[in-house]
Structure 1
């Protein structure tokens, strides 16, 4: 069959590779000048900056894709295991490290709060049981309600419908450890108190398979996947913006590009956000899936700041992945997830208003910056946009200045005097360039009623031959989940093709 994949994020590439390996004629259409989607690459004056995801876990999911062509991942990309996974800093600059080794993690908890060592052991056991119960569902379609209902006994037994923060608070007493050990929902755009504990399986993913870095950055994996697809016979066209998914009688027949040209297809896999797919690519839709996508609660957004400096800081306490958890947690999260109606005037921001994640890949890989230089990026959690809202240049500048001040004063002294390259994207980039409604950096919030069957399905219930992958679909955001969405979609294509194939009559039947 002829398959068109709209968008080239990890979900789109994973689906395309699996479809090409199954013998389909596959074309990936990407509107930007290079592939990657959120995993974009910015190259500025000798610095390489990953545009989006940097936390790589579950390497076997990439290995599966290369194995489809009889190849090995390690022949194309070098993954370096990181330890610590993350380093979290409190308001006083003391840090807590997340380690791969379970005993070292218990020792780290005890170093911070001896009274919480036993509680951490209980927490780890609960997370492992949640993983064992729910991991199988992350690689299965969730398009029938009874499949979701089948999970209900596990949800109740493991209290997995409760928030991640409650899961942690039930075992841990130290306020900083409570915040640090419950941060993972922020990696997929969710509020720790409102993200169900079933998402704690992210922690177990890291514990079982580690956190890795791809030499050359996440873009090195993107480029390797693009090459793999082409070796399997697939085609990639950049600068090809899809304007409309074309249908006839409730079935896909192809796409129309922004230049007016059309491409015929038997199936279309949309790696665009589900809300954008149903509202813009299909045109105004009235179906249940479209209404649900329109009414969905968006995830948080982000300001992403990219900095290149003409010196290094060998003595910095920063590790490769860093969480700056100063300030009042409730205030920070309320600003992002429950902000009051905007009042007239400029929002007054301070360092304690922001949640910051600092990525310092030059701790691991000197090849991504000129010799003697440091490359870094900082994620700043931000509220999603309201309709037609714009971030003022003054607000964007305030965010930038606060971040530089925090890094300069506490972690990278002299940074402001040594910056030679800067770039930034914000909520409007996610909305206007990446076509995510409300500028939601992770698509939908991972709430209980936006998970599983309640999340946009990987096969359209309204348009035959249309499949959806990416952060906004089942099973959710994060690289492993997005790769899984590509696997689910490709499996559904195979299943649907088998169902349409006429039965072969046996000799006895004749």
Structure 2
């Protein structure tokens, strides 16, 4: 009965938070004020954990139904209950996997763009967005090339853009909450590996929970320390798509939430040690013999997210999805001062995760269409 009540609550939040608002711009305060009655009615002042605990009594069941904010970089104990909509979203539309993996999705999108005459520039990093008289006129690459533009649509991490790619003289900050009060999502340690045998009893998706829950999340998000214990998400794509590994073998990755780089960990030392602890834990639980069968392993740390993806503080999901960093309080999809600078990114409204960033793209599309119509 408790689950049925939670499902009803999740659907009600989904109907408002996703169906009605996820692809709508929150670029004006009035957009936010108009939603206050709905936010109050849906108890968005509660955290996801508080909402779940109203309906579930067993601690392990509470954990299982409150972990969803971690999928978008949030701590269930301080993430607004708006994100409880994820449960109903997954139940309503399912969890899908593209045969061929993310690479197949990227290749399909590339083909779509090329068929529509879009020029794709690879291995090109942007050093600066050039703004004059409250308009983004061009971008400058790290090689010094200046590319002029009528509009700049950016999918880079907004905090990085505003701190490193826009001159302070432009007079724009991106969001209302001061930088000093900004809270970032956790970092990620991602371990990729193959095995020289198959593990048919391991599902495509597995959540491997450690003994600690709230205390572990407190270590990661608040104290920013790397504890000896952990919880894991284990992905086995070969459960669905055998092409991910040679015959008789398996392919995996493990996602382990860790502190972002604000914790000061030396990942040159910690990376190997954490890899070994994860392999040992899986070996003695759901993947016996892993120590002997693991092959071709490598990993990414928050340092890599900071360097390769230019994510501020190596955060895995940009800024955290707390209430004061959601909707109008989050980075806007169009800059408040620079009228032709747009953001379709995890750090912009509505947030991280595949559904979130796709909705972010829809918001930008609608804004561009609206802006074009007023010219």
- 1:26-45 correspondence to structure 2 within 5 Å: none
SS at match of 1:357: strand
- 1:163-174 correspondence to structure 2 within 5 Å: 163-174=47-58
- 1:74-473 correspondence to structure 2 within 5 Å: 118-135=1-18, 136-284=20-168, 286-289=171-174, 292=177, 294-295=179-180, 296-314=182-200, 316=201, 318-339=202-223, 349-350=227-228, 353-386=229-262, 389-473=264-348
Q: Is the 8 A contact 2:77 2:214 kept in 1?
A: no
Residue 293 of structure 1, CA deviation = 6.8
Cα distance in 1, alignment partners of residues 287 and 157 from structure 2: 37
Q: 1:144 to 1:331 in 2, by over 3 A?
A: same
Residue 390 of structure 1, CA deviation = 4.9
Poorly superposed stretches of 4+, deviation over 2 Å: 283-295, 389-394
Describe the superposition over 1:456-481 as per-residue Cα deviations: whole angstroms up to 9, x where unpaired: 00001122311011100000001011
Residue 368 of structure 1, CA deviation = 1.0
Q: 1:359 to 1:230 in 2, by over 3 A?
A: same
Q: Which blocks of at least 5 consecutive residues in structure 1 are unaligned?
A: 1-117, 501-510
Cα distance in 2, alignment partners of residues 365 and 194 from structure 1: 37
Describe the superposition over 1:353-388 as per-residue Cα deviations: whole angstroms up to 9, x where unpaired: 21211111111110011121111000110112228x
SS at match of 2:349: coil
SS at match of 1:485: helix
SS at match of 1:337: helix
Q: Is the 8 A contact 1:275 1:290 kept in 2?
A: no
Cα distance in 2, alignment partners of residues 177 and 240 from structure 1: 47
Cα distance in 2, alignment partners of residues 406 and 431 from structure 1: 28
Q: Is the 8 A contact 1:300 1:381 kept in 2?
A: yes
SS at match of 2:96: strand
SS at match of 2:261: coil
Describe the superposition over 1:324-366 as per-residue Cα deviations: whole angstroms up to 9, x where unpaired: 11211122111111116x7xxxx6x43xx21211111111110
Residue 199 of structure 1, CA deviation = 1.0
Higher strand share: 1
Q: Is the 8 A contact 1:279 1:290 kept in 2?
A: no
Describe the superposition over 1:257-282 as per-residue Cα deviations: whole angstroms up to 9, x where unpaired: 11111111100111111111111111
Q: Is the 8 A contact 1:278 1:290 kept in 2?
A: no
Residue 133 of structure 1, CA deviation = 2.1
Cα distance in 1, alignment partners of residues 13 and 294 from structure 2: 45
TM-score, length basis structure 2: 0.95
Q: 1:268 to 1:205 in 2, by over 3 A?
A: same
SS at match of 1:442: coil
Cα distance in 2, alignment partners of residues 248 and 163 from structure 1: 42
Q: Is the 8 A contact 1:293 1:456 kept in 2?
A: no
| Greater Rg over alpha carbons, structure | 1
SS at match of 1:162: coil
Residue 294 of structure 1, CA deviation = 3.0
Cα distance in 1, alignment partners of residues 269 and 151 from structure 2: 45
Q: Is the 8 A contact 1:310 1:373 kept in 2?
A: yes
TM-score, length basis structure 1: 0.71
Describe the superposition over 1:481-506 as per-residue Cα deviations: whole angstroms up to 9, x where unpaired: 10111111121111111112xxxxxx
Residue 391 of structure 1, CA deviation = 2.3
Cα distance in 1, alignment partners of residues 282 and 16 from structure 2: 41
SS at match of 1:239: coil
- 1:474-489 correspondence to structure 2 within 5 Å: 474-489=349-364
Cα RMSD for the two superposed structures:
1.6
Q: 1:293 to 1:229 in 2, by over 3 A?
A: farther
Residue 287 of structure 1, CA deviation = 2.9
187-196 vs 126-135, which deviates more?
126-135
